[in-house]
Chains A and B, each alone.
Chain A
Amino acid sequence: MATRLTKPWMLIADAVKRLHGHLGVFELADADDNVIYIGYAGASSQFGLRAEVSAAAQDISSAVSARYEVTSAYHSRYRELLMAHTADYGEPPACNPPEMLRQITLGKLSPS
């Protein structure tokens, strides 16, 4: 299983159309395909990935495209994506609010 999300980007509207209420993780990118937000749809989410991607995209005006992975292991996968991004770029994605990140203990990965 790849550590990073490598699926092709889709326009947010197209991604939302395809999504259902699944649990999983997702990334949002700006117009240059830079990852600017990593999120998840957990078991407390009422309408899963569909609702979480829509809500995050509404809050982040620079978000243009999205990609996602349906997984019930969203808890560990979300942390893994944040750690891998931090390993690659030295910091978490620009639009992940620091107050939200302070609520979790992120470890340190050095993915191959």
Chain B
Amino acid sequence: MNLELTEEQDMIVGIVRRYVREEILPLEIGLDPDADELPPEDKARLIEKTKQMGLYGLDIPPAYGGPDIDLVTRTLIAIEMSQHRAGLYAPCYGTFGGAGLAQLFEATDAQKERYLYPVLRGEKRGFFGLSEPSGGSDPARAIQTKAVRDGDDWVINGGKLWISGADKADFGLVFARTDSDKGRNGVTCFIVDTDTPGFHVRRIVHTLRSANYATELQFEDMRVPADNILGELNRGFAIANDRLTRQRIPYAAGCIGVAVKAHEMALEYVPQRETFGAPLSTRQAIQWMLVDNEIDIKQSIWITLEAAAKATRGEPFRKEAAMAKLVASEAGGRVVDRCMQMFGGLGVAKDLPFERWYREMRIRRIGEGPSEVQRHIIARELLGASLR
């Protein structure tokens, strides 16, 4: 693996870094510390800017009008995009757009017309409805939401938990059990319009993360046309699994970006802050914290970039993606914690971003599959089918 950035990567990373520092950070000063959106006029202005930069819709495949940027470069960009207060869950406040739900690229032509293209034009939003009160890391067994065939429709009953963005979405991907005897081969993915009778967003689930909150959904005799099955009947698990694997790389990149920014702030602060007549930077305890930060960040970057490089080459990357998610989310937590310690009282005040990062970073060890599940995936890849 080449450890040097190409000229093009270096240029793109520089552009995004300047954008975050010159456009996002100054705006963020005037926002609530827990804000997850920009005022509409600022967002519209900045979207025009990222379009001019040629970086809008980063994750959209070139065939659908997105910029042709490989996954390693997109990972480097994601690390830059998250280097601000809201960066972990609202990198650059969505001003780089996105592909929405990547699974829709595999949809039928009619489904693409109705859901994918409006998402790419920024006209519709979707949500991903997998986790249930019975669990999220083991969808093959945990999914209890049931879909029963009735003529040309399916009737869905059940519920989902921890679903982000469902209250603001126009549609969602809902995974439901269509054959109770077949385990992972009995789950189907349905595209569900949120104005369908029987679709309810019952409540916000309040957590450590006050921004980009999760919701709880309930489905009561929700009737969905058979044409709204995404992919094949009883093959929804593969769709869910593919998404979970791919999502781990940008998830890791977000953790790294925040860690990089926190570390940078600490490096700037400790030579200035004096205690007992000398700068904090002269204290070995502080130096070791900075060293540990540096090592945590470097390890996370290389493991994550390796996963992205394997995915770019079309090689299996399940193990590497799990390692990236595991290492970056745990390292990110340690780095933010150390930086808080170095900043003392200021570190825990809402005046600085550490407090928000600390709360949100804690969730990263659980969201998108907890650390223990990532270790299980890695062990399974090492030991083979005996653990499946």
Chain A interface residues (CB < 8 Å from chain B):
1, 3, 42-44, 71-77, 79-80, 83, 102-112
Contact = CB atoms under 8 A, between A and B. Distances in A.
Given A77-B206, A79-B204, A104 B37 contact: yes
B142 to A, nearest CB: 23
Provide the main secondary structure of the chain B interface: loop
A75 B203 contact: no
A44 B28 CA distance: 12
Interface in B306-365: 350
A110 B200 CA distance: 6
Given A42-B34, A103-B40, A108-B194, A75 B211 contact: yes
A72 B39 CA distance: 22
Contact of B206 (A1, A42, A83): A1
A74 B210 contact: yes
Nearest to A43: B350
A104 B168 CA distance: 11
Contacts of B213: 76, 79
Interface residues of B, number: 24
A73 B36 CA distance: 13
B204 A72 contact: no
Contacts of B201: 107-110
Interface of B: 32-37, 39-40, 166-168, 194, 200-204, 206-207, 210-211, 213, 215, 350
Contacts of A44: 32-33
Provide the main secondary structure of the chain A interface: loop
Contacts of B35: 75
A62 to B, nearest CB: 27
Given A43-B350, A44-B32, A108-B194, A76 B37 contact: no
A68 B37 CA distance: 25
Contact of B211 (A76, A80, A102, A103): A76
The 4 A-B pairs at the shortest CB distance, nearest first, are namely A107-B167, A43-B350, A75-B210, A75-B34
A28 B201 CA distance: 26
19 contacts: A3-B203, A42-B32, A42-B33, A43-B34, A44-B33, A71-B206, A72-B210, A74-B210, A75-B32, A80-B203, A103-B39, A103-B40, A105-B37, A107-B167, A107-B201, A108-B167, A109-B167, A109-B204, A110-B201
Contacts of A103: 39-40
Contacts of A107: 166-168, 201, 215
Nearest to B37: A105
Nearest to A1: B206
A83 to B, nearest CB: 7
Contacts of B34: 42-43, 74-75
Centre residue among B40, B206, B207, B211 by max chain A CB count within 10 A: B206
A102 B168 CA distance: 14
Given A107-B201, A108-B167, A109-B202, A102 B210 contact: no
Nearest to A108: B167
A112 B197 CA distance: 15
